[in-house]
Structure 1
Amino acid sequence: MKRFALAAFLVGVTLFSVLIAWSGFHDVSAAVLSAGWATAIVVLARAVAIVVEGVAWQMLFPPGQGLGTSICILLRFVREAVNQLLPVAAVGGDVVGARLATFWRTDGALAGATIFADVAIQAGTQFLFAVAGLVILFVLKGDGELVRYAALGLGLGAAGIGAFLFIQGRQGSRWIGGALQHVGGGRDWAGVRLVERLWERLGAVYDRPRQVAGSAFLHLVVWVFGSVEVYVALHAMGYPITVAEAIVIESLGQAVRGAAFAIPGGLGVQEGGYVALCALFGIPPGPALALSLVKRVADLVLGLPFLAVWQVLEGRHALRATPPVPDPAASSFVGRGG
């Protein structure tokens, strides 16, 4: 697994470097510098989006059994930091988030179930956003080769999301439990019971449709709000695109990046997607790559501090979990007193 992650990272770095060299380092750097004040707005917009995503996650916890809103927001920042900056698959931060949730005495199965549902809702709403972007692209540019490729990609994405949702149902739990029993030689081992508890908790999450719908609405708002980053950054670079064009670039650009989840941070893939999409609206490769780099500035500014927060939380938990070392002097004193 580590070799695969390293190979995926090297592929991303190579693609990123090729795109920068092809577009011209001077053109890209000049476009990034021209963004100026817009970079701060992109960072602020990203922070607001993550806060809303934290609220969307908190809504999935049953009343009185989950984390507070502020803790969910904090852990959501950590989840994003791990996903964006570390060489892990796109769900590595979610695994970390589930573990950190247990530090506040949240049941591990419940924490895992809410994150499982949160990821599914996020993927589903991203798909809807991408479909909206494809429809807008068709209206603006008509039927074209890129539209057809995008439609094919979304069709494959729909199949993947459908499979992910199916796995979360009862039949999916039976399949996974059966597979674990097969691996364990038919024994009733802890892995099977953990799956049963996780899916039981997952069912309880989905049994609250209002909360699930509210969470989905917030995620959809976040996806649309992400278009602000594109709109503001390109305007600052001297390319006054419309709101509709910003939605197309953001929605399909995020879909391209999501499809390359195995490459850490979608490195290189995100950049290639923005180059292709921006070209539809007359934006050269240099500013298109600069747009991606401005977005990565937000990843770094918001991600690095919360990687540190993650380590602090892990360290505090380790200290609490470590039993105190007996003091020999105190032991001998107690012995003499007896």
Structure 2
Amino acid sequence: MKRISILLFLIGLGVTIAGVAWIGADSIFKSVFSIGLNHLLLLTLWQIFVIALLSTAWRSICPELGLLRLFWARTLREAAATCLPFSQIGGILLGVRAVCFKEYRFIDNPENLSIAQGISSNIVDVTTETLGQALFTLIGIFIFVSGGYHINLQEINIFGNYVNLKWIIFIGSIFLAAALVPLIWTQRQGCIIFQKIFRWLSAHIAQQWSGKLAANADLLQKSLDQIWSRPQRVIRSCLIHFLCWVMSALGTWACYIFLGAHINILEAITIEALVCVTLSIGFLIPASIGIQEGAYVILGTIFGIDPHLSFGLSILRRARDIIIGVPALAIWQVTEIRYLHKYRQNK
């Protein structure tokens, strides 16, 4: 799996470099530097606000975990997915670690916090985020079709065959919707699945750990059942996540305006929704390298936006993520080092 991720990352990086060469590095970086530091900081602050709102969506399903803990966990989850050579799955794993960590200095550390709570809250939060994304995508596709923009879709060459982009968007939407069914079913009826997984792990590790694994399988299912037993909280989380997707689209609209593009808010929502569909297809590619750039360039062209502006938007989005993510990851590393040092001293 690690080798596949590295290979996908290198392919995506190659696509990005080829895109820069094709569009023209001078025009891309000229547009990027034209917005100024003030506008970049404004986009960064907007993204921090969106992350805070995402934290409230997470808190809606698990209020006992605390908003500050979940804000930090969400920030780390985003940082790992956007700044490190991890797929989205790697970001989720770091989010679990951040939720379960009990040695924070400025965040309350409840004694009864369990690993099962950390895992289950992450799983359900990802599920409600995907549900919110599905609604956001449907609205984007509706605007796309009702506005007649689909007429401008082009055909691209894939392994010698020309495929219209509308089929890629359609397949991505189906993939996103189909992924929700097993995701929710596993959480609601997944006790047997979890038990089989933990039973397999128990047979391949030391005997003294097997009992703990079996107990954790039951605790995880119990924790998931507790969250899903409060549907009003789940619905609230979905609605907040949907609002966050809209807020992200507003950030995209503002970035295009700063770059000098002529685009309205509904068009920005459509572009962001269809980019989300594309990123859903390539979720295994670390940091969506190449996929993000290509999606913005192709979709921006449909709406009459110059490719160098769309490519510049993708670069600014990555710059914004780095401004937020790198300090967060550095703080996390310091925190983990302190924890290991303290653990070794006590041992």
Q: TM-score, normalised by structure 1?
A: 0.89
TM-superposed CA distance for 1:6, in Å, is: 1.4
The whole-number CA distance in structure 2 between the counterparts of 1:49 and 1:92 is 21
Cα deviation 1:60-90 (Å, max 9, x = unaligned): 225xxx3221121122111111111111220
Q: Kindly, what percent of the aligned residue pairs are identical? A: 27
The whole-number CA distance in structure 2 between the counterparts of 1:260 and 1:245 is 23
Q: TM-score, normalised by structure 2?
A: 0.86
**1:150 and 2:150 equivalent?**
no
Q: How has the CA–CA distance of structure 1 residues 30 and 154 changed in structure 2, closer, same or farther, with 3 Å as cutoff?
A: same
Report the equivalent of 2:333.
Answer: 311
- The answer to whether the Cα contact below 8 Å between 2:72 and 2:98 also exists between their aligned partners in 1 is no
**Aligned residue runs from structure 1 range 243-282, under 5 A:** 243-282=265-304
TM-superposed CA distance for 1:249, in Å, is: 0.9
Cα deviation 1:38-80 (Å, max 9, x = unaligned): 3222211111000111122122225xxx322112112211111
Report the equivalent of 1:206.
Answer: 228
- The answer to whether the Cα contact below 8 Å between 2:12 and 2:291 also exists between their aligned partners in 1 is yes
| Structure 2 residue matching 1:27: 3-state secondary structure | helix
| Structure 2 residue matching 1:262: 3-state secondary structure | coil
**Residue of structure 2 aligned with 1:162, choices 173, 176, 181:** 181
Q: How has the CA–CA distance of structure 1 residues 38 and 146 changed in structure 2, closer, same or farther, with 3 Å as cutoff?
A: farther
Which has the greater radius of gyration?
Answer: 1
Report the equivalent of 2:72.
Answer: 74
Report the equivalent of 2:136.
Answer: 129
Note the residue ranges of structure 1 that are not aligned, 5 or more in a row: 326-338
Aligned residue identity for 1:211:
R
Report the equivalent of 1:181.
Answer: 199
Aligned residue identity for 2:41:
A
**Aligned residue runs from structure 1 range 77-92, under 5 A:** 77-92=75-90
- The answer to whether the Cα contact below 8 Å between 1:109 and 1:194 also exists between their aligned partners in 2 is yes
The whole-number CA distance in structure 1 between the counterparts of 2:39 and 2:57 is 27
- The answer to whether the Cα contact below 8 Å between 1:35 and 1:234 also exists between their aligned partners in 2 is no
Aligned residue identity for 2:74:
R
- The answer to whether the Cα contact below 8 Å between 1:77 and 1:303 also exists between their aligned partners in 2 is yes
**1:22 and 2:8 equivalent?**
no
Q: RMSD of the TM alignment (CA)?
A: 2.1
Q: How has the CA–CA distance of structure 1 residues 240 and 142 changed in structure 2, closer, same or farther, with 3 Å as cutoff?
A: closer
The whole-number CA distance in structure 1 between the counterparts of 2:183 and 2:45 is 32
Q: How has the CA–CA distance of structure 1 residues 269 and 117 changed in structure 2, closer, same or farther, with 3 Å as cutoff?
A: same
**Residue of structure 2 aligned with 1:120, choices 127, 144, 148:** 127
TM-superposed CA distance for 1:108, in Å, is: 0.9
Aligned residue identity for 1:256:
T
Report the equivalent of 1:58.
Answer: 59
Cα deviation 1:244-291 (Å, max 9, x = unaligned): 100011111122123211111101100000011101111121111001
- Equivalent pairs, count: 321
- The answer to whether the Cα contact below 8 Å between 2:279 and 2:291 also exists between their aligned partners in 1 is yes
